[in-house]
Structure 1
């Protein structure tokens, strides 16, 4: 019964505001001023409801960790930035060493930052990540722009030189750009670096880091992080629609 009454009440309120909108050009100014105040209060609440509803009802679902994994995967991960909303969705004129959540940090060496970054909601049917990251770069006077992703400690547990670490990404750019991924593995006083260039001819890209080619002390691995390096990013829009990682052992020969 209460549901029926609620719908009737909402229809009555809608009719009231429809009449007020039609009569606004002739409404006495004191009454119009009062109506404007109420309308602004309603607009703020309605906009907030629409914003939250769009986020919850659009595909894919917030918090999703769904993505294809290679056979034999024993660890996989999608960073939180691509899984759920940040506390602050965007920053203009972004300074260097800006944290984008707890796992991702943006670095550059521009004196004057003409770089804006915004988390965007993925809504296409084929999207698997709930969110993406959009970077709008205008004039770029620095020598480097990179995203540093701190890998969770679980990746280092049990990691051996027989493992491959795979990174998959979906990247859209306005103009062609060279992008490099550098996996850093700190073991004792040393840090091993494995670098791969992303094949950006396609939007969906994949690179593998074969730990057999690194001089790594498996028993002393302390920290792992990845640098995503964007070369000459000026006058470009780069959208990282998804970023995922997986660990698995090299196939026995």
Structure 2
């Protein structure tokens, strides 16, 4: 988009759209159920697009003036990604008593098997390279597992080869020490290959790398990639994920 001011036609379209939704807000109490369902769907579609625009603009405005994003790019890196939750405001911004499969933002889903959830998720403002972060509070925990699942976007899947390494970097603060395991899942055709690494939590930004040469991935049939962050013994703990990024690069020739 250029830096030019909006044209008269652009302002007219925007004014009419705002007037339409203002009128809808006045008339909503008089609408029938079918009209309400359609209005709700229209509003949700508009909100998704507005949230996407706000997320990107907030993320860019939060960056330093030189645009440096703080993501380490290994030699030959052909793709990097910081999930939306760490880039800009998401909806919902917090969940109390989060059930399994609760989503916070578009990219992150919580999984657990607790009978009664005493787990809270909340997006926070950060002071690191990432303008936002995630706080995970776990109180009593009667389940056997707790994980966050991040779905990688299509850009990270396109052109993926077995000579690629995928680097996952995290900046983590813990109220008390626990182990965090990272599991990369690659779905190709009917098969799913997995690679598991333990995150070495030494303070600051730590990372693991997944070497796809250790999979049987069919490069022509890769459909989806996701990562599970698995927290061992998370009870009575506060976990702050201040930043989380991905980078993809080819293995160095030997």
- 8 Å CA contact retained: 1:181, 1:226: yes
- The answer for the alignment partner of 1:237 in structure 2 is 238
- Paired residue total: 196
- Say whether residues 1:193 and 2:197 are aligned partners: no
3-state DSSP of counterpart to 2:122: strand
Superposed CA RMSD in Å reads 2.1
Match in the other structure for 2:52: none
Counterparts of 2:62 and 2:155, CA distance in 1: 31
Aligned to 1:119: 123
Change (3 A) 1:163 1:135: same
Secondary structure in 2 aligned to 1:88?
A: coil
TM superposition shift of 1:202: 2.3
> Is the counterpart of residue 92 in structure 1 residue 92 in structure 2?
no
Indicate the residue corresponding to 1:179 in structure 2: 180
Shift of 1:200: 1.3
Equivalents in 2 of 1:242, 1:64: separation in Å? 15
In structure 1, stretches of 5+ residues that fail to align are 1-54
State the 1:66 CA deviation: 4.1
For 1:58 and 1:223, the matched residues in 2 are separated by 30
1:69 corresponds to: 73
Q: Give the TM-score taking structure 2 as reference length.
A: 0.73
Shift of 1:58: 6.9
Distance in 2 (CA, whole Å) between partners of 1:109 and 1:140 is 9
TM-score (norm 1): 0.73
SS at match of 1:154: helix
Given that 1:64 and 1:129 are in contact with CA atoms closer than 8 Å, whether structure 2 keeps it comes out as no
1:107 aligned to which of 94, 98, 111: 111
Aligned residue number for residue 10 of structure 2? none
Question: 1: distance between equivalents of 2:89 and 2:82?
Answer: 14
1:60·1:130 contact (CA, 8 Å) conserved in 2?
no
SS where residue 219 of structure 1 aligns? helix
Aligned to 1:250: 251
How many angstroms does 1:181 deviate by? Answer: 0.4
Residue 170 (structure 2) aligns with: 169
Q: What SS does the corresponding residue of 1:111 show, helix, strand or coil? A: coil
Asked if the contact 2:167–2:207 (Cα under 8 Å) also holds between the matched residues in 1, the reply is: yes
Deviations 1:158-212 (A, max 9, x none): 1111110000000000100000000000000000001000001323211000000
> Partner of 2:206 in structure 1?
205
Measured against aligned partners, the alpha-carbon deviations of 1:89-108 in whole angstroms (never above 9, x if no partner) come to 21111111001111110111
User: Shift of the alpha carbon at 1:65?
Assistant: 4.3
> Does the 8 A contact of 2:72 with 2:247 survive in 1?
no
Question: Judging changes above 3 Å, is the alpha-carbon distance between structure 1 residues 84 and 237 closer, same or farther for their aligned structure 2 residues?
Answer: same
Is the contact made by 1:131 and 1:241 (CA closer than 8 Å) also made in structure 2?
yes
**Equivalent position of 2:152 in the other structure:** 151
Bigger Cα Rg = 1
